[in-house]
Each structure stands twice: as structure tokens, then as C-alpha cells.
Amino acid sequence: MSDVDVDVKNLFKKIGVDEPAYQELRRESRTDQARERWPLLNSLQAEEEAAPVKQAKRSAKKSELSRLFKSLEGGKAPPKEEAEPLPREAAVGPFRKLPEAGAPNPFNRLFEPQPPPRNFWQSMFDKLKKS
Amino acid sequence: MTVIAVISMKGGVGKTTVTSNLSATLTRFGQRVLVIDLDPQNALRLHCGIPVHETGGIGRDTLQGVSWENLDFRSPGGVQVLPFGVVSDEECMVIERHLVEHPGWLGDNLANLGLDEDIVILLDTPPGPSVYLQQALSIADIVLVVLLTDAGSYAVLPATETLLKHYGAFRRGFLGSYYVLNQVDASRTLSRDVMEVVRHDLGARLMPFPIHRDEAVSESLAYQKPVLDYDRYAQASQDFEQFAKWLIQKLKDKTA
Ligand SMILES: Nc1ncnc2c1ncn2[C@@H]1O[C@H](COP(=O)(O)OP(=O)(O)OP(=O)(O)O)[C@@H](O)[C@H]1O
Ligand SMILES: [Mg+2]
């Protein structure tokens, strides 16, 4: 740890900020710097924070997404309010268009009971089974 | 038995490499391991030193409607291997249709094998959502998500979390999903920065030993060997050793 770090740490101590909180601040600033170097990392974060649900939590830096990450830890189900689907704005990539709450997930439909297979499939399967 | 699914949203991130090398290292540490290839690419067998001319596998057996118990492939290091098998595009569509109609396909076939309780099963999966991924997630006790330290991998994190959340992450007895960073290059600022951001977001769900980008990994594949046998002093060999020890500890925590 550099002299500056020690000084800053002592200063925080004087004003009543404890060691873990100080370390947490250092960590946050490192993470922010890492994001700021790369526009995409930064905009993914910005997009996440733009979701209205999270505004209230901004000061605690506990974004919806990181709560979701933590909630999945060890497979424990999160408390009720955390179990809501990701806000649509936070989702990117192939799942960007998340269904409204309660609506079936598009991926799910793949696995729902299918109508009886068309003859084509059945005959193909039988044919391959025999060969 | 404990089932571990190795998954990723993006292709080519190293799922098959992680599955094969992790299984070889676990076996070296005395763990009994079965690896199953759920990807019609059928590449896992090559990583596990199975002769190229072998065409059998779970895909073929599914088409023929027979059980998997006659598949007897073993890597030179002692990992039991169930390849996907060589199938045509047409056959692949038939298999996938069958899986849609039989959501218990994987679980039932494994139950048929009557495996001992101490066996660890590693499932290699194709990238992104698929019927194979669905089958894997429906029975997995642990999920390992492989990520590269690039912006593309970071961008699909929310989608991955949503997927995990929808498919089985809260089943009774589920042990957790963890992220594994692969091909980390600490000399690159972007690699370090993505690692920092991901660490911040994932906390304890990030497997704490990133796997470095290491030429020995691709060279070892060209020799059809796990990296540990190809060059035991390579950085990646050490990474996989730490990874395997971390996982063994997780399994111990489970039984405790
Ligand atoms: N740590 C590493 N260092 C160097 N090369 C690596 C490393 N991990 C993987 N590779 C190389 O990256 C390529 C892709 O790896 P692999 O086939 O395991 O990815 P995958 O996720 O299984 O791909 P797919 O999505 O197509 O199934 C391979 O050539 C492999 O040798
Ligand atoms: Mg693969």
C-alpha cells in the first residue's frame, strides 16, 4: 500500500469510516475506472442504471443486475421482490425482448408439450430406427 | 452422482476445453469422472483422446432406441467418455425432436446407467439456448458458465443470468452456478478490466482461478491430450489444478 493510501485510510478512520467500507470504496473506484476505459462496458452499465426500478438504490451501488447475480449464489431463491424478471432495459443480447411478467418465456415454448408429430417426423424416426 | 453442466451463451469460449481438461485433472486427483457430449459437433471425444474413427455415441444410440450402457469409451487418463456420436444433419433434427418430446431423456438415460453416488458427471453443451442445454440444466447440480474476458462475453451476462433463473437454478438441492473466466491475458488492459468488472458484479459466483490463454492448451489438443499431460508446468495446467481443487472443495461442502 502506498503512502498516499495510508494517509487516505487514516483520514477515513478519523472521520469514522471503517476499514471494510474504505476497501469497498477503493474497489468501486477501480471498477469504475475499468468501465470508463471502454465505451461498451460503460454503456452496458449505464443502460442497467437507466432502468427506473434501480434509481432508488443508486447510492448503495447495488444495481438490479448485481442483486440478481448475488441472488443466484448457491442456488438460493432470492426474496420475493428480487425474484422478479430482469427489467427489459437491463437485458441485452438474444433475450433482450423479455416477455411481460407471467407470459411464457419464448425459450420455454420449445419444451412445452408439442402437437402430435407430423407423419414426416414419425416416419423419419422409424426409418432411422430400423436402419 | 453430481451433475455439472458446462455452458455458455457464446460459441468458441472454451466449454469443451474446460470440460475435457477439468475432467482429466479431477481424475488425476482421484475423482471418478464421466463426461458426456451433448453437442452434435461431437468434438469432446477428440479432446479426450478417443480414436477419430469411433462413430458411436449417445446421439446414435438415441436414434436406435438403445440404452447407453454399451458405450465404453475411456480416455488414456481414465475419464469415462460418452461421445455424442457421428450423426447427419437429418438425424440430428430427429434427435432434437425426440428431446423436445422427452424432456426427461437425459435424466432417464443416466438413471438407467445406475451410476455410483461418488461419480461426477460433466456435461459439455452447445453454445446458447438449445434442447440440449435445457436437458442439461434440468438435472444439473452445479452450472459452470465459461466466459472470455472480452466485451462480448460481458454483454451477454444478463441474458445468461435470465436463462439460469428460468431453468432450474432454484431447484431443491441445486448447488449453484459459477462463472469461469477462460483465455485471460493479464498483459492486456481489456482482459484485466473485464476481469475487474466481472469480479465486482459476480462476487463469490466467480470461480476465483481464471484460466490463462496459453498456447499449450491448443497444442495439447493437437496431441489429443489434456494440457496437464502435455506440459504439466504450463500456466494452464496449474490453472486447471486450482480449478479442480476448488471444485472438489465445493463437492465436499455438498456432502458435509
Ligand atoms: N485457455 C486457452 N488458451 C488457449 N487456447 C484456448 C484456451 N481455451 C480454449 N482455447 C482454444 O479455443 C478454441 C475453442 O475452444 P473450445 O472448442 O473448447 O470452445 P467451445 O466453447 O467448446 O466451442 P463451441 O461453442 O463451438 O462448442 C480451441 O481452439 C481451443 O484450443
Ligand atoms: Mg464445444
Confidence grade of residue A129 (pLDDT, cut at 50, 70, 90): low
The answer to pTM > 0.80 is no
Which fold is adopted by the domain B2-255?
A: Rossmann fold (3.40.50)
Confidence grade of residue A2 (pLDDT, cut at 50, 70, 90): low
B223 lines ligand 1 (CB under 6 A): no
| Atom number, ligand 1, closest to the C-alpha of residue B41 | 27
**pLDDT tops 80 at residue A101:** no
Angle value at C-alpha B160, between A89 and B33, nearest 5 degrees: 175
Alpha carbons A66 and A78: distance in angstroms, whole number: 12
pLDDT digit string, tens, across residues B195-214: 999 999 999 999 999 999 99
- Please name the residue of chain B whose CA is at the shortest distance from the CA of residue A70: B202
Helices assigned H by DSSP within chain B: 15-28, 44-47, 58-64, 89-101, 105-113, 131-139, 151-155, 157-166, 189-202, 215-222, 227-230, 235-255
Please answer whether residues B236 and B212 qualify as being in contact, where contact means their C-beta atoms are separated by less than 8 angstroms.
yes
Q: Tens place of pLDDT for every residue, chain B, 256 residues?
A: 999 999 999 999 999 999 999 999 999 999 999 999 999 999 999 999 999 999 999 999 999 999 999 998 999 999 999 999 999 999 999 999 999 999 999 999 999 999 999 999 999 999 999 999 999 999 999 999 999 999 999 999 999 998 888 876 556 778 899 999 999 999 999 999 999 999 999 999 999 999 999 999 999 999 999 999 999 999 999 999 999 999 999 999 877 7
What pLDDT does B228 receive? 96
Alpha carbons A124 and B153: distance in angstroms, whole number: 38
Contact assignment for B203 to A73 by CB distance below 8 Å: yes
* Cell numbers placing B214: 496459453
The number of beta carbons lying within 10 Å of the beta carbon of residue A40 is 13
What pLDDT does A112 receive? 45
SS3 B102: coil
Pocket probe mutation, ligand 1, options B17, B125, B231, B242, max atoms within 8 Å of Cβ: B17
Alpha carbons B191 and B185: distance in angstroms, whole number: 6
Contact assignment for B203 to A40 by CB distance below 8 Å: no
Residue B50, H or E segment: none
pLDDT digit string, tens, across residues A23-68: 777 778 899 999 999 988 988 877 666 654 444 444 444 455 555 5
| Atom number, ligand 1, closest to the C-alpha of residue B10 | 25
Please answer whether residues A68 and A82 qualify as being in contact, where contact means their C-beta atoms are separated by less than 8 angstroms.
yes
Alpha carbons B81 and B115: distance in angstroms, whole number: 14
What pLDDT does A25 receive? 77
B15 lines ligand 1 (CB under 6 A): yes
Residues in chain A: 131
Please answer whether residues A95 and B164 qualify as being in contact, where contact means their C-beta atoms are separated by less than 8 angstroms.
no
Spatial CA neighbour of B34 closest among B146, B100, B118: B118
ipTM greater than 0.90: no
Alpha carbons A94 and A9: distance in angstroms, whole number: 44
Nearest Cα of chain B lies from the Cα of A31 at a distance, in angstroms, of 5
> Which residues, including other chains, have CB under 8 Å from residue B183's CB and lie 6 or more apart?
B13, B14, B148, B149, B211, B212, B213
pLDDT digit string, tens, across residues A73-85: 554 444 443 333 4
What pLDDT does A4 receive? 64
Show residues of chain A in contact with B167, CB under 8 Å: 107
Show residues of chain A in contact with B166, CB under 8 Å: 105, 107-108
- Distance (angstroms) between ligand 1 centre and the Cα of B79 equals 19
CB pairs under 8 A between A and B: 130
Compute the mean pLDDT over every residue in chain A, rounded to the nearest whole number. Answer: 57
